[in-house]
């Protein structure tokens, strides 16, 4: 029913919904107090029961392997309590029948579309049960009493689902990598398309630098992933200091980075890559571990259309060449199958191949 990612999202949203739910309960409490002369003071008892039910569910959800069942069970319980309250206070004759739509608002924030459908079906089933069990003749002679709250339940579910889908899509479109603060793959794809269109008009070259941290796997293996994450954040901060405002750096994932250099030819891109290498070379991570990076460089020719996939493939091949040649260096793809390179003093001493 739920994967780990879905479960984490549900628990996160449930934490966010909890204070809003408490406020909503307070609003219902005030409404019941104001309505007590007509409905009776006893109507506050089911509300108190619903509050207690959610408090128990909140505690249990953090202790069980499948919290979705606990949370969904609490939701069903709250809907049932509302239905029971409406039934004993007058059924379709009272305005509170529409309150069955209130819990439906929270469903899309925590559950999948299938669960939302099940929840709506439960709400509609309770609506029909309350209406026909309490006063069938009244409903049959005045169908809008049933049609209106039923439509409200379905409409609330549809609108809440649309809003939640929009929120999820916008989150997935976030262009900032949370770990390093750099732009991510989605931002890279958008920028590459913009540069393609610009190159068609201006004919200016675009440089691409591909780089990664040398022996990064060893950092994770020996110091742990937390140390690896800290290393990536530190490296990203060092690289940013060597770039111009319009030179954009992206994290592809793991320890892989890409820099786009609008207007830079191959020589200019090589110079920037060397600056990036020296920004890291000879430095130590916060835990004292020495670090270095290797870079591959390529650029589109002046007057030619910039095609990111082709230029990046050449830069990536040059990066692999830098790894094979011993790491801690810059290799440039000057033509098909030919690479030039700048080596650091430590690289000239030789280093084992591999990333």
**Chain segment 290-309, per-residue pLDDT in tens:** 889 999 999 999 999 999 99
**DSSP element (H, E) containing 330:** strand 329-335
How far is 139 from 304, CA to CA, in rounded Å?
A: 74
How far is 298 from 323, CA to CA, in rounded Å?
A: 16
Which one has a higher pLDDT value, 343 or 221?
A: 221
Give the pLDDT band of residue 170 (cuts 50, 70, 90): low
**Sheet arrangement for strand 329-335:** 248-253, 256-262, 206-213, 293-299, 329-335, 338-343
Which one has a higher pLDDT value, 307 or 338?
A: 307
Which one has a higher pLDDT value, 21 or 274?
A: 274
Task: Report the chain's mean pLDDT, rounded to a whole number.
Answer: 85
Which one has a higher pLDDT value, 196 or 245?
A: 196
3-state secondary structure (DSSP) of residue 270? helix
Residue keyed to tokens 């460089």? 297
Q: How far is CA 231 from CA 189, 213, 237, 290, in A?
A: 25, 9, 10, 10
* pLDDT at 183 > cutoff 70: yes
Q: What is the pLDDT of residue 314?
A: 96
pLDDT single digits (tens) 60-76: 876 776 888 899 999 99
* pLDDT at 34 > cutoff 60: yes
% of the chain at pLDDT higher than 70: 88
Of the listed ranges 84-93, 189-198, 278-287, 289-298, the one predicted with least confidence: 278-287
User: What are the residue ranges of CATH 3.30.70.270 in the chain?
Assistant: 185-348
* pLDDT at 118 > cutoff 70: yes
Mean pLDDT on 301-318: 94
How far is 101 from 176, CA to CA, in rounded Å?
A: 37
Q: What is the pLDDT of residue 91?
A: 83
Contact 285, 213 (CB under 8 A): no
pTM of the shown model: 0.51
* pLDDT at 121 > cutoff 70: yes
How far is 278 from 293, CA to CA, in rounded Å?
A: 9
Q: What is the pLDDT of residue 355?
A: 54
Give the pLDDT band of residue 36 (cuts 50, 70, 90): confident
Kindly report the CATH number that applies to the domain delimited by 185-348. Answer: 3.30.70.270
* Other residues' Cβ atoms within 10 Å of the Cβ of residue 80: 17
pLDDT single digits (tens) 206-245: 999 999 999 888 888 778 888 888 889 999 999 998 887 6
């Amino acid at each position: 029913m739920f994967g780990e990612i879905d479960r984490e999202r549900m628990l996160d949203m449930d934490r966010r919904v909890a204070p809003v739910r408490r406020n909503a309960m307070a609003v219902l409490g005030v409404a019941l107090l104001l309505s007590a002369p007509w409905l009776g003071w006893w109507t506050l008892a089911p509300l108190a029961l619903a509050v207690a039910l959610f408090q128990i569910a909140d505690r249990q959800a953090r202790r069980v392997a499948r919290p979705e069942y606990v949370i969904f069970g609490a939701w069903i319980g709250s809907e049932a309590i509302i239905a029971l309250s409406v039934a004993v206070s007058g059924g379709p004759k009272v305005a509170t029948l529409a309150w069955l739509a209130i819990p439906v608002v929270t469903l899309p924030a925590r559950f999948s579309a299938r669960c939302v459908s099940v929840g709506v079906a439960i709400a509609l089933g309770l609506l029909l049960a309350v209406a026909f069990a309490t006063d069938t003749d009244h409903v049959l002679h005045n169908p809008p009493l049933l049609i209106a709250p039923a439509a409200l339940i379905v409409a609330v579910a549809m609108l809440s689902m649309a809003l939640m889908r929009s929120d999820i899509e916008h989150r997935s479109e976030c262009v900032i990598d949370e770990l390093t603060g750099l732009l991510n793959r989605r931002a890279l794809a958008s920028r590459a398309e913009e540069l393609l269109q610009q190159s068609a008009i201006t004919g200016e070259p675009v440089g691409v630098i591909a780089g990664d941290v040398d022996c990064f796997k060893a950092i994770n293996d020996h110091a742990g992933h937390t140390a690896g994450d800290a290393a990536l954040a530190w490296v990203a901060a060092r690289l940013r200091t060597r770039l111009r405002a319009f030179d954009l750096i992206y994290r592809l994932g793991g320890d892989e980075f890409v820099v786009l250099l609008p207007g830079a030819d191959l020589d200019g891109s090589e110079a920037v890559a060397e600056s990036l290498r020296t920004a890291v070379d000879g430095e130590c991570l916060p835990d004292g571990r020495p670090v270095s990076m290797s870079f591959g460089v390529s650029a589109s020719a002046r007057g030619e259309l910039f095609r990111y996939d082709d230029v990046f493939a050449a830069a990536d091949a040059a990066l692999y060449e830098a790894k094979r040649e011993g790491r801690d260096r810059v290799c440039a793809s000057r033509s098909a199958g030919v690479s030039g390179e700048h080596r650091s003093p430590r690289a000239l001493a030789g280093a084992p191949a591999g990333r």
